Chains A and B, each alone.
Chain A
Amino acid sequence: MVSATPAHKFYVSITKIEYVKEKNSLQIITKIFTDDIEDALQQRYDTSISLDTKKETEAVDEDLKKYLLQKMIIKVNGKTVRLDYIGKEYDTDMLVAYIEVKDVKELNTLEIENKILMEMFSEQQNIIHLKTPKSRRSLILDKDEPSGKLKFN
């Protein structure tokens, strides 16, 4: 795409995934710019959707959940796993969503596809930070490579 990135606007989301072995749980925290995700939800579901304003309705959580779970696919040890949407909150200009994968008894490989906002912004980067009891790894996903695989052991 032939375009300059406006100087101070970055199309980035950050997803922190922590494997908590004693709980057999993958804890996922995703931070997305609120105005970007609001644009995406408006275009997809309803132009009146408003986030982090007095106009925000409870119904928006369903739309957000639908969107996030559609755009994020995780495979643990080669198998696609179920993502449980826990909820969301706001931090300054970011929306922070909490998602959990339960019953992860061991973690040998993790594949993650994160296409959040890539249909909106061709330069969208989705950064993944993974923390296990033994290591820290990162992936930078973009339209050209929207998924990545991490091996452990």
Chain B
Amino acid sequence: MKLFNSLFLSALFLISAAVSAQDETETTKREPGHYNTNRFKQLYEEFSTPNMFRTASGAPGPSYYQQQADYVMDIELDDKNKKITGFETITYSNNSPDVLEYLWVQLDQNKRAKDSKSPLIESSSAAPADMAGSFVQNYMDGGFDGGFNILEVKDAKGNPLKYTINQTMMRVDMPKNLMPGEKFVFSIKWWYNINDHVVDRARSGYETFEDGNRGYVIAQFYPRMAVYNDVEGWQNSQFWGRDEFALPFGNFDVNITVPADHIMDATGELQNRKEIFTKEMMSRYDAAQKSFDKPVVIVTQAEAEATSKNFSTAKRTWKFRAENVRDYAFATSRKYIWDMMAVKMGSGSVMAVSLYPPESNPLWEDWSTRAVATTLKTFSRMTFDYPYSKAISVSAKNQGMEYPMICWNHGRPDKDGTISDRTKFGMISVIIHEVGHNYFPMIVNSDERQWTWMDEGLTTFTQYVTEQDFAEEYPDAVAPNKKYPSRRGPAKNIVDYMAGDQSQLAPIMTKGLNTYNFGANAYAKPATALNILRETIMGRELFDFAFKTYANRWMFKHPTPEDFFRTMEDASAIDLDWYWREWFYTTDYVDIGVKDVKKFYVTSKMNKEVKEMMVARGISENDLPPLVYMVEEGSEDFEESMRTEKLEDVKTLNEYIMDNIPAEERAKLKSPNYFYKVTFEKPGGIPMPIIVQYTYSDGTSEKMTYPAEIWRKNDESVGKVVASEKEITKIEVDPDEETADIDTSNNSWPKRKKLGDFDQFKNKTNPD
């Protein structure tokens, strides 16, 4: 009986719909067909076909391979002449199934060569004012030459190898092809002039302190192997200065010779600690390894200040070994104070370390090493146990740059010791961010040259999670704030960017170099997209498991964007193709609102629509099953008496209930008296869940979330009938601003005119 009823009803309405559709098409031209443009279509066109290297589930496939580059290097830093020289031997292992005819080596310092093409790709015009340094560089040609001087490239037997330098890439021709499974050993001898990183805002170089001492933060300083893999072949896209690096994993044995009174730390484990450390330092170091609650100072401020006064001409060699790292960097100066604390990691512990000059106190002694420790804890919880022995934060002016186990960070007090909140939080945030990069891309080794967002977006997202953890661990540090003042992560902070002019936007899936607004595009938008995914779309439990799965699958490997996208679905059973398409492959934005709300009353009195249908179909009321009618407030059929009509007054319904529902169950039935047809609109492209708060006349409210899939058949508007026992007084979409809705003026019913930021501020300052 029930089946008959519903079939009958749907047939009645379907046929009438078909009749009216036919009427229209007879007079107009037949519409052409179209491709599938549904926003919920799978990403078959965007994604490459899964293969033996990379599976459809997003994991490394059975034939996955990666190349290896091991380095043995002797480095000497000449503090007096600001020069660095090196001799390196590279053992390159061809683990690919391919025959290699040549090798590509990266010469990043050539970006700083006099004949660098980097300035030539930037448009320019006469500026009204120019920094003196750049004026000299641009127009007076007295410029600094910081490019590599390659002295020799030789094979293992000492025979010279032919090489060709194309800007920041060097092709090394081998005597014979390198077959799968073979190794090739060769050496390079080089030197270059070290640049002042403060003047030219570089990531590597020195800064000069007022006492004449220099602090060196040295990175991408040696010729480095390029990545060869199954997706790019050789990744030999030039280094123009902004986009970062793609590097294979390997083991490093590095001897670094510096002035004898320098304090240094670097990627890898110090091999000659007994030679370098005094007895005092050794006992402090032993204490630091057992100190889990606060840093222990290895070199004190007083000691650093005393050392800074003598400029030793003697030399000392620090010996390091690093295993399974993709890069190498070090920091060295007479000025460094050095502290460390231990952090529990799995069944063992690792060290959180800081190096900073006296100029960084009071500030660094309080927060640097603690921020490193919190970062290791939170990032490890979100991914995997930190696999290296230490993470070092080095104080360097204006910097924020990451390398394996070591990073450079800005933030110093004013000369009079004043520390503003923004200096403190800026410093803690940059430390969390750069230390966090150990996970992405140093260990989960994505290709930074091509996909900036893969390391910056994932790190900025996890940075946000860490900052919130930091505030819980050190409430005094953030007081009087309750939460850490995070700049990136919350959905509403991305609205300005997403609402921007389309001609100035690029999808996240754009090479970093080619974006218009690098910071928003590669950092803030992907971090926010992941935060929304975690908080609003997937929920923390499913997101965190999938995110962790991705990190563990690609730990010490080279993932692509698709490997990330696929894993997040594979580990969660949530179809996210629509989310990746909209947030990562397009510049679309979110704008969802309430278009219209209609109030309905239930009655047993037949309404106009059904009467018309009966006439058209030639049937009488007796042919109809028992029906309940809905009448819109204010329509032709509406009568004032309907307002007070109770459900039990609706005869057809009452009879049906009496006949079909046992007496003991009747009491459990809900008795909605208010019916609303709410139409939601979507002026924005991105289909997002409709998060709605219904507020009732008694002041209570209820939140409902309709999944994004509600938009799958109608991209512009959808209706929902809400049956309620209480009268609804307010309907608000996205009440907690969690979807990055760019226009909230359509989010409420009845329409609410919200005072803008400008008027709010003006009222506050001139309360007239």
Contacts and interface: CB of A to CB of B under 8 A. Distances in A.
A77 B759 CA distance: 24
A2 B487 contact: no
B756 interface: yes
B398 A6 contact: yes
- Chain B: interface size category: 35 or more
B756 A18 contact: yes
A127 B756 contact: no
Contacts of A119: 128-129
A34 B422 contact: yes
A9 B430 CA distance: 10
A58 to B, nearest CB: 14
Interface stretch (B68-76, B195-203, B725-733): B195-203
Contacts of B400: 6-9
Interface string A10-44: 10101010100000000111000011000000000
B35 interface: no
A53 to B, nearest CB: 4
Contacts of B4: none
Contacts, number: 141
A1 B119 contact: yes
A87 interface: yes
Contact of B127 (A8, A16, A52, A118): A118
Interface stretch (B8-16, B77-85, B498-506, B672-680): B498-506
A143 B239 CA distance: 23
B765 A86 contact: yes
Contacts of B503: 138
Contacts of A125: 517
Given A6-B398, A9-B400, A122-B131, A18 B758 contact: yes
B399 interface: yes
Contact of B499 (A9, A50, A51, A136): A136
Contacts of A136: 499-501
A137 interface: yes
Contact of B762 (A55, A98, A138, A144): A98
Given A14-B496, A34-B422, A6 B203 contact: yes
Contacts of B128: 115, 119
A127 to B, nearest CB: 7
A4 interface: yes
Contacts of B523: 8
Interface stretch (B333-341, B413-421, B660-668): B413-421
B425 A93 contact: yes
A54 interface: yes
Interface in A92-134: 92-93, 98, 100, 115, 118-119, 122, 125, 127, 129
Contacts of A86: 761-762, 765-766
B127 A122 contact: yes
A47 to B, nearest CB: 10
B242 interface: yes
Contacts of B756: 18, 27
Contact of A137 (B124, B127, B487, B501): B501
B499 A93 contact: no
B51 interface: no
Interface in B515-542: 516-519, 523
Given A118-B127, A122-B134, A139-B501, A4 B758 contact: no
Contacts of B757: 29
B202 A3 contact: yes
B362 interface: no
B305 interface: no
B200 A4 contact: yes
Given A92-B485, A137-B501, A127 B517 contact: yes
A35 B759 CA distance: 26
B112 A2 contact: yes
B137 to A, nearest CB: 6
A54 B241 contact: no
B261 interface: no
A83 B519 CA distance: 30
Nearest to A92: B485
B689 interface: no
A54 B414 CA distance: 12
Contacts of B724: none
Interface in B402-438: 402, 410, 414, 418, 420-423, 425-426, 430, 433-434
Contacts of A54: 418
A123 to B, nearest CB: 8
Contacts of B423: 35
Contacts of B561: none
9 contacts: A2-B137, A3-B134, A10-B519, A12-B519, A35-B426, A92-B422, A98-B761, A138-B500, A140-B517
- 10 A-B pairs with the lowest CB-CB distances in the bound complex, closest first: A138-B501, A8-B400, A27-B758, A10-B519, A1-B134, A119-B129, A4-B241, A3-B200, A53-B420, A93-B422
Interface of A: 1-10, 12, 14, 16, 18, 27-29, 34-35, 50-55, 86-87, 89, 92-93, 98, 100, 115, 118-119, 122, 125, 127, 129, 136-140, 143-145
Given A3-B201, A89-B761, 14 more contacts: A1-B119, A2-B119, A3-B134, A3-B241, A7-B244, A7-B400, A8-B523, A35-B426, A86-B761, A86-B766, A93-B426, A129-B501, A143-B125, A143-B127
